[in-house]
A and B are shown apart, each in its own frame.
Chain A
Amino acid sequence: MATDSLLSSTTVPVAVPQGAPAPTRHRIFSPGRVITIAGGTFTQLVRMKVFYFMAIFAVAVIASSFAFADLETEGQLKLLKDVSLAAMSLFSMLFAIAGTALLLPRDIEDRTIYTILCKPVPRLEYLLGKMLGVVWLILISLLLMDTLFCVVLHLKTQSIISTQMEVLSAMKFPSPDARDASISQVQETILKQGMTWNLQFGVLAVFLKAVVLTGTTLLLSTFASSTIFTIMSSLAVMIIGQAQSLARDVFLGQDASTVPRIIAGAVSLVFPDFKGFDIVDAVVSGTVVEGLIMLKMTGLTLVYMVIHLLAAYVMFSDKEI
């Protein structure tokens, strides 16, 4: 019989394996898994060729170091620093928004998210991994940009100093001591406008701001219906974040009652107040920023990261994928 031969070929006796639930090896939280997801995200973004944007940065920095050679020396250095820090700020924010906004929709659309979440990976780890992957990308790209910036600024400072030396050596001084004093004074003034640790604080502030924005974008992307919506609303958050303290001053004034203050506080949780991160103008003009301020800024960044991540988790843990 046809049926018989078919059956004998399919119902082979089976070696039954142990059927009892195995004692769990699962770890509630595993840094290894988070790093794996972060690394995967970083590779994904790198292979999407985001680093090509860096070429634009290089052109901007180098061009601004040659431009306006007829400006007075301080002006030349200020221009270079202004352009470079503004470009770093812009690029890191763009990476934060565009990089993060693409991640979840892409995984959901390609169904790669199923293959990840069906492994013993808690959803919180998945989100944290994605976020850290973007942060990692921002960090690496800022380091690259910063290195280039430092080199160009250093060269520019050196060339300005040597020009000034020529000018000074052509001048007459009452005594050799007076000449030395004025040479070292000029040198010192110029070096202060060059590469300083204070300036690096500015770069750190740019980084922290981008990190905060990454968290915000991730949160938005857990409930946004489209990537475009995520990007637009993240941009809105960025702008509101810049203007927030201004708005608060206008609407609340100095002597506001408790309720509006609480509301303002709640708003500042969702829309991070970027005013606290605005030290770039200060460092460019040479104002010294205290270490304590940087510490506060870092703390604030961590608080925002945790709040955004937890909120994203609340949204995402209920999300049907």
Chain B
Amino acid sequence: MSEVPAVSIQHLTRIFRLPTLRRQTVTAVQDVSFDIAAGQIYGLIGPNGSGKSTTMKVLLGLLRATEGKCSIFGRDSARVDSREDVGFLPENPYFYRHLTGRETLVFYGKLCGITGSALKDRIGELLALVDLEHAADRRLAGYSKGMLQRIGLAQAIIHRPRLVVLDEPTAGVDPGGSRKIRDLILALREQGITVILSSHLLEQVQEVCDRVGIIYKGKLVKEGALSELMSVEDQTEILLRNATPEVLKAVRALISSHPVTDLLTMGHPRTTLERLFLEVTDGSAVETREYVK
């Protein structure tokens, strides 16, 4: 592992002041700390309103931290030059609808200082990568959600950043479309690019991430390598198919006859991460604290 982490977030707290007369505040993120080693795919999961987007925006220097620090490859996020190393796809992005896919990439490429034939080649490459060659000269106003996310991903990596930040990359995209996005994320890892993504869809996080952080009500409640989080040493799972009530009854009887073994659960299986998730969030995965303007 390299010494400088791709992302370092230390004791990040972000408090929003609400535009009301009675100086109300919302603590969106509270004392969150984690590092991401270069080359990893990190998943930030949590229900809506738990502070995922806020964490990412502070990391990108779009919002200020109330307390704490973030850095990207050792450079403080508040500095403009730290953004040379990052690509960002915001949540539900809208790009300029009057531009075509190609024009969009030209615009963002130039902002990153790429010009001329280098830009042209890079755009051709990216359009092929995200499978939008056929729609390159259509205006974004006519793109589907999945296509927008893909052009968004292309603009995020146009300057070959070493870190890519994806906020809910598959939200609102149909299953076929989100499989495409997942494959693109895996392709980024092949190239050694670090990825941090947020999601409330656990299965997808489980499929692609090396490490996950579970964030709930602004706090990081669990954090670690997927392998560490998922294995519970003293427990064993038995998965049965076509078990009849008689078989289950016999199994129960066998277990209860054994002195040190306890039966913890019996029922239909869930994905492991989902169970963990429900455990640490008191089962209130659907609770939201949406801020309404």
Binding site for B on A (CB under 8 A): 1-3, 6-7, 10-12, 14-22, 24-27, 30, 32-33, 36-37, 40, 43-44, 47-48, 110-112, 114-122, 320-321
Contact assessment for A114 and B62 in the assembled complex, using a CB-CB cutoff below 8 Å? yes
Given contacts A32-B110, A40-B99, A121-B80, 15 further A-B contacts (CB under 8 A): A6-B206, A10-B207, A10-B227, A11-B226, A14-B39, A14-B40, A16-B2, A17-B193, A19-B73, A20-B4, A33-B110, A48-B98, A110-B94, A114-B88, A120-B84
Q: Does B115 contact A (CB under 8 A)?
A: yes
Inter-subunit contact B6/A19 (CB<8 Å): yes
User: Taking CB as reference atom, which chain A residue is nearest B5?
Assistant: A19
Please give the distance in Å from B155's CB to the nearest CB on chain A. Answer: 7
Complex alpha-carbon distance, A2 and B237, angstroms = 9
What are 7 A-B contacts with C-beta separation under 8 Å? Answer: A1-B237, A3-B272, A11-B210, A36-B110, A115-B89, A116-B111, A321-B63
A173 and B141 alpha carbons, distance in the complex (Å):
72
Q: When the two chains form their complex, are residues B62 and A112 in contact, meaning their CB atoms are under 8 A apart?
A: no
Whether B4 pairs with A10 at a CB distance below 8 angstroms is: no
Bound CA span A28–B2, Å: 29
Report B-chain residues with C-beta under 8 Å of the C-beta of A36. Answer: 107, 110-111
Q: Which residue of chain A has the shortest Cβ distance to B110 in the bound complex? A: A36
Which residues of the other chain, A, contact B2 by a CB distance below 8 angstroms?
16-20
Of the residues B99, B103, B189, contact of A14 by C-beta under 8 Å: B189
Shortest Cβ gap from B267 to chain A (Å): 15
Decide: B90 and A114 in contact? CB cutoff 8 A: yes
- Of residues 181 through 224 on chain B, the ones whose CB sits less than 8 Å from some CB of chain A are 189, 192-194, 206-210
Establish whether residues A32 and B62, one from each chain, have CB atoms under 8 Å apart when the complex forms: no
Sorting the interface of chain B by its residue count into under 10, 10 to 19, 20 to 34 or 35 or more gives 35 or more
State whether B74 touches A16 (Cβ < 8 A). no
Q: What's the Cα separation between A119 and B80 when bound, in Å?
A: 8
Q: Which residues of A have CB within 8 Å of B64?
A: 320
Chain A residues within 8 Å of B227, by CB? 7, 10-11
A19-B38 contact given A47-B98, A118-B83, CB 8 Å threshold: yes
Contact A26 B94 (CB under 8 A): no
| Minimum-distance CB pairs A-B, first 3 | A19-B2, A26-B81, A47-B98
Which of A3, A21, A22 is the one whose CB lies under 8 Å from B230?
Answer: A3
- Whether A112 contacts B3 in the complex (CB less than 8 A), given A21-B75, A32-B115, A33-B113, comes out as no
B residues whose Cβ falls under 8 Å from a Cβ of A: 1-6, 16, 37-40, 57, 60-64, 73-75, 80-81, 83-96, 98-99, 103, 107-108, 110-113, 115, 152, 155-156, 159, 162, 165, 189, 192-194, 206-210, 225-227, 230-231, 237, 239, 269, 272
Q: Are A115 and B74 in touch, CB under 8 angstroms?
A: no
* A30–B113 CA distance with the chains assembled, in angstroms: 9
For B83, list chain A residues within 8 Å (CB). 118-121
Q: How far is B227's CA from A313's CA once the two chains are assembled, in angstroms?
A: 47
B85 touches A33 (CB 8 A): no
- Compute how far the CA of A22 lies from the CA of B6 in the bound complex, rounded to whole angstroms: 12
Asked if B239 and A2 make an inter-chain contact with CB atoms under 8 angstroms apart, the answer reads yes
With a cutoff of 8 Å between Cβ atoms, the chain A residues found around residue B206 in the complex are 6, 10
B96 partner, pick from A6, A25, A112, beta carbons under 8 A: A112
Q: How far is the CB of A224 from chain B (nearest CB, A)?
A: 13
A32–B5 Cα gap in the complex (Å)?
Answer: 32
* Given A19-B3, A114-B93, A115-B108, A24:B81 Cβ within 8 A: yes
Closest Cβ–Cβ distance, residue A163 to chain B (whole Å): 49
Q: Cβ of B111 and Cβ of A37 under 8 Å apart?
A: yes
Which of chain B's residues have a CB closer than 8 A to the CB of A37?
Answer: 111
Q: Which residues of B contact A14 (CB under 8 A)?
A: 39-40, 189, 192, 210
C-alpha spacing A320/B156, complex, angstroms: 22
A19 to B220, CA, bound (A): 25
Given contacts A117-B62, A122-B80, contact A111 B96 (CB under 8 A): no
Which residues in B have their C-beta under 8 angstroms from that of A19?
1-6, 37-38, 73
Find chain A residues with CB under 8 A from B61 CB: 117-118
| A77, chain B: closest CB distance, angstroms | 41
State the Cβ distance, B234 to closest chain A Cβ, in Å: 14
Cβ-neighbour of A118 out of B5, B88, B95, B269 (below 8 A): B88
Give every chain B residue within 8 A of A26 (Cβ-Cβ): 80-81, 84
* Cross-interface CB contact of A22 among B1, B73, B108, B193, cutoff 8 Å: B73
- Nearest Cβ distance between residue B235 and chain A, in whole angstroms? 10
Tell me the smallest distance from the CB of B230 to a CB of chain A, in Å: 6
**Complex CA–CA separation, A121 to B62 (angstroms):** 11
Which chain B positions have C-beta within 8 A of A25? Answer: 84, 113
In angstroms, Cα B103 to Cα A248, docked, is 50
- The answer to whether B88 touches A10 (Cβ under 8 A) is no
B47 shortest CB reach to chain A, Å: 21
In angstroms, Cα B92 to Cα A111, docked, is: 8
Contact B85–A22 (Cβ < 8 Å): yes
Quick check: B226 and A10 within 8 Å, CB to CB? yes
